[in-house]
Structure 1
């Protein structure tokens, strides 16, 4: 089965937050994305609420529950107590844990699973008890030792950081090298019993090669490139283009 597409709404929220006005509507564009075939919606509510606001989460939860009950809500973030409380109140189908500093502009590295295995094990257990699938952000070239540690946390999935691959858009040789790393890490994860998600700087142009390198890719979460395309093609047509690029 092709990878499912989760549309990350952070860039939409960032644009909205430039003014003290309710547009562009985060939930409105989320609805358009789901109507066009997106399999889910993703947000990353940071402590300073510079893009997704905490108040957006119950609205997105209600949108999915009321209009698209077969779709999923994915909430990602660093597992502070406030974040965990927010997630438990929202009850997303999936929680993606990232090792970000709150001041980072965006996620740019995966967890050191070996060092953080005990901390992550406790957090994963808490989230799974609340009914969420748990995915852990992972470096594209993680070692077997790291993957074994990721599995031992009790997580269901890893999300491969595809930023270096996306950043090689103008260098085919580098892109091929990054794909090889991603494919090897994905294989290690599958062999360990972990499903594989991917996200960061993915586009209509680079998705097919990624899907070919990771045949069992479960889900991609895409925000920046998708939102950029939506300015040109509109949200609905952009989602259809990305869904097709995933192989549907």
Structure 2
């Protein structure tokens, strides 16, 4: 079965927020993405609301519940008390926990699961009480000890940070090395019983090689590259292109 595509709406929200206007519509483009075959929608509600606003979340939840009941809502972020309360109120199918500083422009590294295992265990248990699946942001070259520590938190999945791979768009040799890291970490994760998601700087061009290297990939969350393509091909056409790249 091909990996599911979750469309990250943060870049759409960022464009909307440049003006005090309701367009482009975050839910409107989310609807188009789901109509075109995306398996879900992702948001990363940062504390300063520079991308998705907190008020967007109930609207996205209602969109999925009312029109696309088979789709999933994935909320990612650093697990502050405010974030956890926001996530719990939104009842997402999946929460992806990232070790971001609030000032970071975007996620750029995975958790140190060994150092943060005890903290993460309590947070994962809290989120799972409401039936939410939990995924943890993971470095592409995580060691066996790190992967084991990730599994011990009780999380069901890890999301591979694919930024280093995505950054190799002009260097095939380096890209191959980054893919090998992802492949090796995927083997460790699967052996530990963890599902695998991936996200960051993924494109139509680099997805097929990733899928080949990590055939057990379950989901990709894509925002920047997908939104950039949508300016040229439209949201529906772009979702179709990404699904084809995933082998769907």
Per-residue CA deviations over 1:111-131 (Å, capped at 9, x if unaligned) read: 000000000000000000011
SS for the counterpart of 2:5 is strand
**Superposition pairs of residues 12-27 of structure 1, within 5 angstroms:** 12-27=12-27
1:245 Cα shift?
Answer: 0.6
Distance 1:66 1:98 in 2: 29
Match of 1:244 in 2: 244
Match of 2:191 in 1: 191
**Superposition pairs of residues 67-106 of structure 1, within 5 angstroms:** 67-106=67-106
SS for the counterpart of 1:70 is coil
1:138 Cα shift?
Answer: 0.2
TM-score, normalised by the number of residues in structure 2: 1.00
Per-residue CA deviations over 1:39-83 (Å, capped at 9, x if unaligned) read: 000000000000100000000000000000000000000000000
Match of 2:204 in 1: 204
Match of 1:66 in 2: 66
**Superposition pairs of residues 1-248 of structure 1, within 5 angstroms:** 1-248=1-248
Distance 1:186 1:119 in 2: 24
SS for the counterpart of 2:121 is helix
Distance 1:129 1:208 in 2: 36
Per-residue CA deviations over 1:20-50 (Å, capped at 9, x if unaligned) read: 0000000000000000000000000000000
Where do 5+ consecutive residues of structure 1 fail to align? none
Distance 2:68 2:21 in 1: 26
Two-structure CA RMSD over aligned residues (Å): 0.3
Distance 1:9 1:139 in 2: 23
SS for the counterpart of 2:238 is helix
Distance 1:174 1:132 in 2: 37
Task: Give structure 1 regions of 4+ aligned residues with deviation exceeding 3 angstroms.
Answer: none
SS for the counterpart of 1:202 is coil
Distance 1:77 1:131 in 2: 18
Distance 2:193 2:126 in 1: 20
Count of aligned pairs? 248
Distance 2:162 2:33 in 1: 22
SS for the counterpart of 1:196 is strand
SS for the counterpart of 1:76 is strand
1:163 Cα shift?
Answer: 0.2
SS for the counterpart of 1:34 is helix
TM-score, normalised by the number of residues in structure 1: 1.00
Where do 5+ consecutive residues of structure 2 fail to align? none
1:181 Cα shift?
Answer: 0.2
